[in-house]
């Protein structure tokens, strides 16, 4: 197998007169967690289907492990892929264990893996219950268990934490990080941008079927040139002195009240602002800095249509 798990080259996809994807190119490297985000209708779900070989491209090419998703040889590659759709649907009259055994048979994976996987995702005690009695979060855990069957080396996750509580989300990402450390490559999409911000290695932002930006969070911040926000809690009576000191710096946007100052500055000016504040320990109670979030980047790169 090639060392590049996913290579998307100038891919287009049309549905009648609708251009769903327009010249999309990206590469997912081995062992990374790759994020795919965009506003509703940006083309995320369509791109997922193309990478999974569930729909043909209209132009360009998608290769997974060096094999075109449009060729007959892709069937064998697909058995090494784990996929969790946004809405995991299965047979409600079966128990959780029976469902997982069904997927094991379809993936040609030994059934003996099933019990341990249900324990791993927190469904060991519920393995004998029928799925109709499962909550949304339990169904999502069951879907995650079928993803992990056979230790896939490539995993696709579409809104994977739907229905999970805070503890479930934490445990989900702990397991996912373990799987990644074992060598798996992961492609994930989520509307909860804060949830994936610190977890993805790289990401692509789609907007109206095109790649608006791609890279690491740090690279996207540098490209977008969004300001850093510095919030300063002040001791009473010093707001005018702080205002005067900061007025000597260039390019700042300030809103200073009696007990708190909000400062917006270019990242290149952040150190200069902090140096000024460091000389005013008598006036400053606390300082916090907020860098541009993934949500800020998403909105800046065309997510305003969300």
Side by side, which strands form the sheet with 228-234? 253-256, 260-265, 228-234, 284-290
Judge whether residue 305 has pLDDT over 60.
no
Give bridge partners of residue 263 from the DSSP assignment.
Answer: 230, 254
Q: How many residues does the chain have?
A: 306
Domains and CATH numbers, the chain: 6-222 (3.40.50.300), 226-299 (3.30.70.270)
Q: Which of 266, 263, 261 is nearest to 284 (CA)?
A: 261
Give the pLDDT confidence of 196-207 residue by residue, as tens digits: 888 999 999 998
Give the pLDDT confidence of 135-178 residue by residue, as tens digits: 999 999 999 999 999 999 999 999 999 888 999 999 999 999 99
Give the pLDDT confidence of 73-90 residue by residue, as tens digits: 898 898 889 999 988 999
List of residues 6+ apart from 254 with CB closer than 8 A: 243, 246, 261, 262, 263, 264
Give the pLDDT confidence of 13-41 residue by residue, as tens digits: 999 999 999 999 999 999 999 999 988 88
- What is the value of pTM for the model shown? 0.82
Q: Identify the sign of the CA torsion 197, 198, 200, 202.
A: positive
Tally of CB atoms within 10 A around 198: 9
């Amino acid at each position: 197998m090639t060392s590049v798990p996913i290579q998307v080259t100038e891919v287009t996809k049309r549905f009648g007169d609708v251009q769903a994807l327009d010249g999309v190119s990206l590469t997912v490297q081995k062992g990374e967690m790759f994020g795919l985000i965009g506003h509703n209708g940006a083309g995320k779900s369509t791109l997922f289907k193309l990478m999974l070989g569930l729909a043909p491209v209209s132009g360009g090419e998608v290769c997974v492990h060096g094999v075109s998703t449009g060729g007959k040889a892709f069937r064998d590659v697909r058995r090494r892929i784990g996929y969790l759709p946004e809405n995991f649907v299965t047979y409600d009259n079966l128990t959780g264990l029976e469902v997982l055994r069904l997927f094991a048979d379809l993936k040609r994976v030994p059934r003996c893996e099933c019990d341990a996987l249900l324990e791993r995702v927190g469904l060991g005690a519920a393995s004998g219950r029928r799925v109709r009695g499962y909550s949304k979060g339990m169904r999502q855990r069951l879907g995650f268990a079928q993803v992990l069957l056979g230790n896939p080396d490539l995993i696709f996750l579409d809104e994977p934490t739907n229905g999970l509580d805070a503890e479930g989300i934490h445990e989900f990402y702990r397991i996912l990080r373990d799987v990644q450390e074992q060598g798996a490559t992961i492609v994930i999409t989520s509307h909860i941008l804060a949830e994936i911000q610190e977890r993805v290695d790289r990401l692509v932002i789609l907007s109206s079927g095109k790649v608006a930006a791609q890279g690491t969070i740090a690279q996207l911040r540098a490209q977008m040139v969004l300001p850093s926000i510095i919030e300063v809690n002040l001791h009473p009576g010093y707001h005018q002195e702080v205002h005067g000191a900061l007025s000597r710096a260039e390019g700042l946007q300030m809103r200073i009240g009696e007990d708190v100052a909000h400062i917006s500055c270019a990242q290149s000016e952040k150190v200069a602002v902090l140096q000024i504040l460091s000389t005013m320990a008598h006036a400053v109670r606390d300082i916090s800095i907020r860098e541009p979030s993934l949500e800020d980047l998403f909105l800046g790169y065309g997510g305003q249509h969300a």
